[in-house]
Amino acid sequence: MDIRKRMLHPFARRFFAGTALEDAVIRARAVNAQGMGVTLDFLGEDVTDTREAESAMQEYSRAIGAIAKEHLDASLAIKLTHIGLDIGREVAEQNALTLIESARGLGVFVWVDMEGSEHTDDTVGIYKTLIERYPGAAGLAVQAYLKRTRADLKVLVESGAKLRLVKGAYREPPEKALQDMYGIRARFLAMMSYLFANSANFAIGTHDRGLIQKGLAMSIGSRGMPEFQMLMGMRDDLKRSLVKKGLRVIEYVPYGSDWYGYGMRRLKEKRRNVLYFMQGLFGR
């Protein structure tokens, strides 16, 4: 392990389960014991080599099998660039269909993570194919800060999608995404309100206490109560308080050897991620 990794590892270790699937399973059992569900995330993205995409497929398949075998309260998150989107849309779509078919047969739900805006069209398109072929078997993350998401939201809800609403963390140009946090939070609130009014099954992915409190207020008299999804190592006190209220809380559990790249990308994408991680350390 080089000097940079040695320096980052003690800090980053709080936010990922370990390098092996077995580490993630151990974490998942512990989280389940606290009354929370889990989403396993095998780290990796931006694959351009067919062998790497095949290796990722094998690991995702192992994770699906482990979730079923261990009877975990867990879903799986996948990134389309991890299974070949940068090689070709057809490659990623076929691989995603293969994973969804396998997961569905074992009763495992799959989330498709949203990536940078250069991949949004393909990600939304592939996701639509997934739920047309396998209704109810997969969910999709949507990013509130992207200017296109308001239109995507309506189409996706009408298509029967299960959505996870997040603020968005990738560095995007002003013509594609809102840049100020005030505007992003306002957009998030508007989209959350739309989901409460039009969807009975969705997730809120944020560590923002204010947005969560507003979501709880919106839930009164709504069609359903969303899941509240947060990253491993972040807002543990808030997770526990929501569980005590009888709410469905999901912890996002990353694992894999790409932990250094994952951590550095998250910190580089937006400066406020540094603040989020520091707040997470102190449970704020």
CA distance 67 to 73: 8
> What letter represents residue 232's amino acid?
M
3-state helix, strand, coil in the chain (%, to 5): 55, 15, 30
Catalytic residues: 113, 164
CA 43 to chain centre: 12
CB 231 within 8 A of CB 257: no
SS (H, E, C) 55-78: HHHHHHHHHHHHHHHCCCCEEEEE
Structure-token pair, residue 163: 């959505």
